[in-house]
Amino acid sequence: MILAATTNESLANTANVLVYSSMAVYTLAFFAHIVEWVAGSRSKVGRTAAALTGAGATAAAAKVEVRTAKKEKGGGTAVLERPKVVTRSVAGRRDVPDGPGAAGGTEKGDLYGRIAVSMTALGFLLEAAGVISRAMAVQRAPWGNMYEFSTTFSTVAVGTYLAFLLAKRNVRWIGLPLVTTVLLNLGIATTVLYTDSDQLVPALHSYWLWIHVSTAIFCGAVFYLGAVGTLFYLLRDVYESKIARGATVGRAWSSVMERLPAAATLDKFSYRVNAAVFPLWTFTIIAGAIWAGDAWGRYWGWDPKEVWSFITWVAYACYLHARATAGWKGRKAATLALVAFGCWLFNYYGVNIFVTGKHSYAGV
């Protein structure tokens, strides 16, 4: 007994060290992403492609590519990738090409971007090891309180982002906001939300813990990535509208916006990830109801967590319906998506900390 307790305490301490180590590595990734944006000067292709509007966008971009290729043969600066021209989802808008990315299309910027991704991957491995160590210390699923949920959530969010990169998806623009949010999340988790390893309350002793909570964590991580894409879509859409009107845009703001994917690309990304994970969120609520029936003898009891989970479901259902309705595409639907993610955030932080109910397992 004493030996087991000592071993568990040692594993818990190891988990804490690994989490703090991951925060240090994520901090290095944060600075590397900053340097990527700063060092990646806008290439001629990037500047020209971002300014292209009208029906001749594709042809003009192709001409720029040819000219750049000739320069490369003569020893000029290499451009990593020609921006792809896409069509915006809002009717009546011009075609706008994707930007060259945070690296600005330059090898120097791309180098720091690759370093940032490498640091993010290392931080992910350390944090995942911390989550596993915590699970071994408590000998159960490592999400019995908000501290454990937060560390697992950020691990899954980073892992999903890295999976997109491995799948050759152009999502490196998520890197900077992702590591920033992860650092903030882990900072809150290790200070305000930290709870010593302990056993679960009786209601949580069920195999449904692995099913219900794990799907909730994964859904939240994907919803987060969709929210980042939606926020960038709104910013980029405003920028493109100003450019189309011929309005003056500040150099710094223009430099950031020109490197992002086109508004249509961001809109498509956000819609696809939200639509893909929505059925899983539906399953999460159903699984929770089944678990409630086993634990408390009723499937629905208007507990605050149950209510806000359903409100979140309704909000995302409204977004998906609005996104598929011609009159609500674009900014209106995107605003609904951010409201839906706001409901998810309140369901986690607000309900767990400020509202008393059967799901009050915050431990703070």
More confident of the two residues 58 and 224: 224
Query: How confident is the model at residue 50, as a pLDDT?
Result: 44
pLDDT band of 76, cuts 50, 70, 90: very low
Q: Contact 130/22 with Cβ under 8 angstroms?
A: yes
Residue 123 has pLDDT above 50, yes or no: yes
**What is the average pLDDT across 238-264?**
88
Instruction: Please write the tens of the pLDDT for every residue from 85-117.
Output: 444 444 445 578 888 888 888 888 899 999 999
Residue 97 pairs in a beta bridge with 85
Distance of CA 130 to the CA centre of its chain: 21
Measured from the Cβ of residue 192, the count of other Cβ atoms closer than 10 Å reads: 13
Going through the chain in order, the beta strands assigned E by DSSP cover 85-86, 96-97
SS3 85: strand
Q: Contact 318/329 with Cβ under 8 angstroms?
A: no
Query: How confident is the model at residue 269, as a pLDDT?
Result: 94
Q: Residue 154: which of 132, 123, 133, 176 has the closest Cα?
A: 123
The model carries a pTM of 0.83
